[in-house]
Amino acid sequence: MLFDTDEIFEEGLDFDVRAKKESFGIDQPECSLAEDVDVSGSLKKTGKDIFLTGRIKTELSLECSRCLEPFRFPVATGVTAHFVPESKAGKEHGEVEVKTAEVDIEFYDERRVDITQPVRDQILLAVPLVYVCKKDCKGLCPHCGKNLNSGPCGCSEDTPIDPRLEVLKSLKDKLK
Ligand SMILES: [Zn+2]
Ligand SMILES: [Zn+2]
Protein backbone atom coordinates (compact mmCIF):
# COMPACT_ATOMS: atom_id res chain seq x y z
CA MET A 1 0.00 0.00 0.00
CA LEU A 2 2.17 2.75 -1.36
CA PHE A 3 1.32 6.42 -1.59
CA ASP A 4 3.20 9.05 -3.51
CA THR A 5 4.27 11.75 -1.04
CA ASP A 6 3.78 14.40 -3.73
CA GLU A 7 0.06 13.66 -3.56
CA ILE A 8 -0.18 14.18 0.18
CA PHE A 9 -0.89 17.77 1.17
CA GLU A 10 -1.48 19.48 4.48
CA GLU A 11 -5.22 19.29 4.02
CA GLY A 12 -4.83 15.55 3.68
CA LEU A 13 -5.27 12.83 1.12
CA ASP A 14 -8.35 10.68 1.60
CA PHE A 15 -8.09 7.14 0.37
CA ASP A 16 -9.98 3.89 0.22
CA VAL A 17 -7.86 0.95 -0.87
CA ARG A 18 -7.92 -2.80 -0.91
CA ALA A 19 -4.66 -4.68 -0.49
CA LYS A 20 -4.02 -8.29 -1.36
CA LYS A 21 -3.91 -10.48 1.72
CA GLU A 22 -0.65 -12.02 0.47
CA SER A 23 1.16 -8.70 0.88
CA PHE A 24 0.97 -8.89 4.69
CA GLY A 25 2.69 -12.20 5.31
CA ILE A 26 0.08 -13.24 7.87
CA ASP A 27 -0.10 -16.87 6.88
CA GLN A 28 0.47 -19.11 9.89
CA PRO A 29 -1.74 -22.23 10.14
CA GLU A 30 -3.30 -20.93 13.37
CA CYS A 31 -3.64 -17.34 12.16
CA SER A 32 -3.91 -16.28 8.54
CA LEU A 33 -5.67 -13.63 6.51
CA ALA A 34 -8.81 -15.05 4.92
CA GLU A 35 -9.76 -11.91 3.00
CA ASP A 36 -8.04 -9.01 1.31
CA VAL A 37 -7.61 -5.97 3.52
CA ASP A 38 -9.70 -2.81 3.13
CA VAL A 39 -8.20 0.35 4.50
CA SER A 40 -9.86 3.74 4.35
CA GLY A 41 -8.62 6.92 5.91
CA SER A 42 -6.40 9.85 5.28
CA LEU A 43 -2.77 10.84 5.14
CA LYS A 44 -1.79 14.30 6.26
CA LYS A 45 1.49 16.10 5.95
CA THR A 46 2.83 18.48 8.55
CA GLY A 47 6.22 19.69 7.48
CA LYS A 48 8.12 16.50 6.72
CA ASP A 49 5.96 14.39 9.01
CA ILE A 50 3.15 12.31 7.59
CA PHE A 51 0.28 11.12 9.75
CA LEU A 52 -2.00 8.22 8.94
CA THR A 53 -5.45 7.75 10.43
CA GLY A 54 -7.64 5.03 9.07
CA ARG A 55 -9.93 2.09 9.51
CA ILE A 56 -9.07 -1.51 8.69
CA LYS A 57 -11.57 -4.15 7.66
CA THR A 58 -10.71 -7.74 6.93
CA GLU A 59 -11.18 -11.29 8.12
CA LEU A 60 -8.72 -13.69 9.67
CA SER A 61 -8.85 -17.43 9.80
CA LEU A 62 -7.92 -18.57 13.31
CA GLU A 63 -7.61 -22.04 14.73
CA CYS A 64 -9.83 -22.51 17.78
CA SER A 65 -7.74 -22.97 20.93
CA ARG A 66 -10.16 -25.61 22.23
CA CYS A 67 -11.38 -27.68 19.29
CA LEU A 68 -8.60 -26.79 16.78
CA GLU A 69 -11.13 -26.11 14.01
CA PRO A 70 -10.43 -23.05 11.84
CA PHE A 71 -12.99 -20.27 12.09
CA ARG A 72 -13.48 -16.81 10.62
CA PHE A 73 -12.60 -13.84 12.82
CA PRO A 74 -13.72 -10.44 11.49
CA VAL A 75 -11.35 -7.57 12.13
CA ALA A 76 -12.56 -3.97 12.19
CA THR A 77 -10.10 -1.69 13.86
CA GLY A 78 -8.52 1.72 13.67
CA VAL A 79 -4.96 2.47 12.66
CA THR A 80 -2.76 5.48 13.23
CA ALA A 81 0.86 5.97 12.35
CA HIS A 82 3.45 8.71 12.26
CA PHE A 83 5.94 8.61 9.41
CA VAL A 84 9.20 10.52 9.23
CA PRO A 85 11.53 10.68 6.25
CA GLU A 86 14.08 7.90 6.34
CA SER A 87 17.05 10.10 5.34
CA LYS A 88 16.36 12.49 8.20
CA ALA A 89 16.29 9.78 10.82
CA GLY A 90 19.32 9.48 13.02
CA LYS A 91 21.97 11.52 11.24
CA GLU A 92 20.96 15.09 10.58
CA HIS A 93 19.02 16.14 13.64
CA GLY A 94 19.80 15.37 17.23
CA GLU A 95 16.15 15.71 18.16
CA VAL A 96 15.15 12.87 15.84
CA GLU A 97 16.86 10.53 18.29
CA VAL A 98 14.24 11.41 20.85
CA LYS A 99 11.44 11.15 18.33
CA THR A 100 12.40 7.65 17.24
CA ALA A 101 11.84 6.52 20.81
CA GLU A 102 8.15 6.82 20.01
CA VAL A 103 6.87 3.32 19.54
CA ASP A 104 4.66 4.00 16.57
CA ILE A 105 7.18 5.84 14.44
CA GLU A 106 7.55 4.61 10.86
CA PHE A 107 9.81 5.71 8.06
CA TYR A 108 9.17 6.67 4.48
CA ASP A 109 11.60 7.17 1.68
CA GLU A 110 11.61 10.47 -0.19
CA ARG A 111 8.88 9.66 -2.64
CA ARG A 112 6.64 7.03 -1.16
CA VAL A 113 4.88 6.09 2.06
CA ASP A 114 4.11 2.44 2.65
CA ILE A 115 1.35 1.88 5.20
CA THR A 116 1.56 -1.93 5.04
CA GLN A 117 3.55 -2.32 8.25
CA PRO A 118 1.30 -0.32 10.62
CA VAL A 119 -1.77 -1.96 9.09
CA ARG A 120 -0.22 -5.40 9.59
CA ASP A 121 0.65 -4.56 13.21
CA GLN A 122 -2.93 -3.46 13.94
CA ILE A 123 -4.42 -6.60 12.41
CA LEU A 124 -2.20 -8.75 14.62
CA LEU A 125 -3.04 -6.63 17.68
CA ALA A 126 -6.72 -7.31 17.04
CA VAL A 127 -6.16 -11.03 17.60
CA PRO A 128 -7.11 -12.01 21.16
CA LEU A 129 -4.59 -13.95 23.25
CA VAL A 130 -6.87 -16.95 23.47
CA TYR A 131 -9.34 -17.45 20.68
CA VAL A 132 -12.21 -19.86 20.60
CA CYS A 133 -14.59 -20.44 17.71
CA LYS A 134 -17.56 -19.70 19.98
CA LYS A 135 -18.02 -18.90 23.65
CA ASP A 136 -19.41 -22.31 24.51
CA CYS A 137 -17.05 -24.36 22.34
CA LYS A 138 -16.98 -27.80 23.90
CA GLY A 139 -13.48 -28.55 22.66
CA LEU A 140 -12.02 -31.98 22.15
CA CYS A 141 -12.69 -35.00 24.32
CA PRO A 142 -9.61 -35.43 26.53
CA HIS A 143 -10.03 -39.19 26.23
CA CYS A 144 -10.55 -39.88 22.53
CA GLY A 145 -9.91 -36.50 20.90
CA LYS A 146 -13.33 -36.23 19.25
CA ASN A 147 -14.65 -32.73 18.56
CA LEU A 148 -17.50 -32.54 21.08
CA ASN A 149 -19.24 -29.72 19.18
CA SER A 150 -20.40 -32.33 16.70
CA GLY A 151 -21.96 -34.50 19.38
CA PRO A 152 -20.96 -36.55 22.41
CA CYS A 153 -18.49 -39.42 22.15
CA GLY A 154 -18.75 -42.78 23.85
CA CYS A 155 -16.25 -42.01 26.59
CA SER A 156 -17.22 -42.06 30.24
CA GLU A 157 -15.67 -40.15 33.11
CA ASP A 158 -13.75 -43.30 34.05
CA THR A 159 -11.88 -43.50 30.77
CA PRO A 160 -8.23 -42.75 31.46
CA ILE A 161 -7.49 -39.17 30.46
CA ASP A 162 -4.05 -39.61 29.01
CA PRO A 163 -0.87 -41.62 29.61
CA ARG A 164 0.64 -39.05 31.96
CA LEU A 165 -2.34 -39.32 34.28
CA GLU A 166 -2.10 -43.07 34.04
CA VAL A 167 1.39 -42.82 35.54
CA LEU A 168 0.06 -40.75 38.41
CA LYS A 169 -2.68 -43.24 39.04
CA SER A 170 -0.29 -46.19 39.20
CA LEU A 171 1.93 -44.21 41.57
CA LYS A 172 -1.06 -43.66 43.79
CA ASP A 173 -1.88 -47.38 43.67
CA LYS A 174 1.67 -48.22 44.74
CA LEU A 175 1.40 -45.91 47.72
CA LYS A 176 -1.69 -47.65 48.98
ZN1 LIG B 1 -13.83 -24.49 18.99
ZN1 LIG C 1 -14.23 -39.32 24.00
- Ligand nearest to C-alpha 155: 2
Concatenated DSSP letters for 65-87? Answer: TTT--EEEEEEEEEEEEEEEETT
Alpha-carbon gap, residue 27 to 138, rounded angstroms: 26
Task: Going residue by residue through the chain, which has 176 residues, state the pLDDT in tens, using 9 for 90 and above.
Answer: 899 988 887 788 999 999 999 999 999 989 999 999 999 999 999 888 999 999 999 999 999 999 999 999 999 999 999 999 886 555 555 444 444 445 578 888 878 999 999 999 999 999 988 889 999 999 999 889 999 999 999 888 776 666 655 555 565 566 55
CA–centroid distance, residue 69 to ligand 1 (Å)? 6
CA of 173 to the centre of ligand 2 (A): 25
Residues 21 and 91: their CA atoms lie apart, in Å, by: 35
Distance 153 CA to ligand 1 centre (A): 16
Give residue 65 CA to ligand 1 midpoint distance, Å.
Answer: 7
Q: How far is the CA of 158 from the centre of ligand 1 (A)?
A: 24
List phi, psi (to 5°) of 97.
-50, -50
Domains of the chain: which residue ranges? 2-125, 141-176
Please, which residues have CB within 8 angstroms of residue 105's CB and are 6 or more apart in sequence? 82, 83, 84, 99
Q: How far is the CA of 176 from the centre of ligand 1 (A)?
A: 40
